[in-house]
Amino acid sequence: MLRPDSPSLILAPMEGVTDAPMRAVLGAGGAFTFAVSEFLRVSQHVPPRSVFLRHVPELRHEARTPTGVPVQVQILGGDAGRMAEAAMVAVNAGATAIDINFGCPAPTVNRHDGGATLLKYPHRIREIVSAMRSALPPGIPLSAKMRLGWDSIDAIDTNAEMAAEGGVAWLTIHARTRMAGYQPPVFWAAIGRVRARLGVPVVANGDIWTIDDFRRCRDETRCDHFMLGRGALADPTLPGRVAAELGLRPAEPELPFDWVAQLQELVDQTRDWDAARPNRVVHRLKQWLALAAAHGSFRAFDRVKRALTVEELFASLRAAPP
């Protein structure tokens, strides 16, 4: 997983987006050091092994995607004891690293004592991390992902310290508060302030849409580790360029991106992983293209958004490539 002495690029967990098929597709280019799964919620009951295997099917294959990318299991919840139990169930199912979600801004999650709501209770962050660290074998890394705070960016100082005291091996910080949601601006400098004094590696996350954004984020945070989420979907060539800047792979000439080939790979991976219904596959393709149209350079969304089948969507793209 993350090595403090070597830069890393991580694929972000995005609920309903970066599932196993998407992790396989985005990881195929070799840019990502590892990926983090979508969160598995731990509420009144600890999920059994079968649930972990269904939610993170890579656990059946040494916790790696079919394209070889290691996958870290992320769990979410507010009860320290149940979170510790769940972490051990995940390890028994094949997990090689565990991440804690202290950042999800979804109101439903927050109302049920999960995600970013824990940012209001710093000592509970330490309690949860400590309980999980004590339960896990020494060789299983434990990390956490959080936002800058609930409604104040200054809360990150205390919350990050609590996570470090609890025993995280590294910390991923999204450069917004929960109340900010995904609205601009981001506060990368606050991440840099934490990195400078925390004592554990810090991964910078939030609004890295372009290579220039990455360079500004790196300049402001001085981080060696970065997480890409929506930016990697909006521009699938971005991870490779960031990886080259980090020295993780050689720089390659920029070529026109083959959307048809990439989308076909997602179709194939989706069918291989979960035999999804055809209308579900079409939804996944449109979901990706809508993000690329809104935040990237994809210009053909109006042509494909009304497609009812995979075949219709690909016919539209092949008739006039974007």
pLDDT tens profile 187-205: 999 999 999 999 999 999 9
- Scored b (16 or more CB within 10 A) or e, 245-278 reads bbebbeeeeeeebebeeebbbbbebbeebeebee
Closest by CA to 176, choosing from 191, 198, 160, is 191
| Topology at the third CATH level for domain 8-245 | TIM Barrel (3.20.20)
Structure pTM? Answer: 0.95
Ranges in the chain annotated CATH 3.20.20.70: 8-245
Q: What percent of the chain has pLDDT above 70? A: 97
Residue 210 pLDDT > 90, yes or no? yes
Cis peptide upstream of residue 21 (ω within 30 degrees of 0) = no
pLDDT band at 112 (very low <50, low <70, confident <90, very high): confident
* Cα-to-chain-centroid distance, residue 24: 13
Task: Please report the pLDDT score of residue 54 as a whole number.
Answer: 94
Task: Please report the pLDDT score of residue 280 as a whole number.
Answer: 82
pLDDT tens across 249-300, in order? 998 888 889 999 999 999 999 887 765 566 688 999 999 999 999 999 899 9
Task: Please report the pLDDT score of residue 251 as a whole number.
Answer: 87
Residues 312 and 277: their CA atoms lie apart, in Å, by: 16
Q: Is 217 a catalytic residue?
A: no
Average pLDDT in the 41-69 region? 96
Token digits of residue 106 = 């979804």
pLDDT band at 94 (very low <50, low <70, confident <90, very high): very high
Task: Please report the pLDDT score of residue 102 as a whole number.
Answer: 97
Task: Please report the pLDDT score of residue 274 as a whole number.
Answer: 65
Token digits of residue 189 = 């400098």
Which residue is catalytic, options 59, 86, 98, 104? 104
Strands 71-76 and 142-149: unpaired
Q: What percent of the chain has pLDDT above 90? A: 88
pLDDT band at 143 (very low <50, low <70, confident <90, very high): very high
pLDDT band at 21 (very low <50, low <70, confident <90, very high): very high
Closest by CA to 205, choosing from 183, 227, 187, is 227
Residues 105 and 145: their CA atoms lie apart, in Å, by: 12
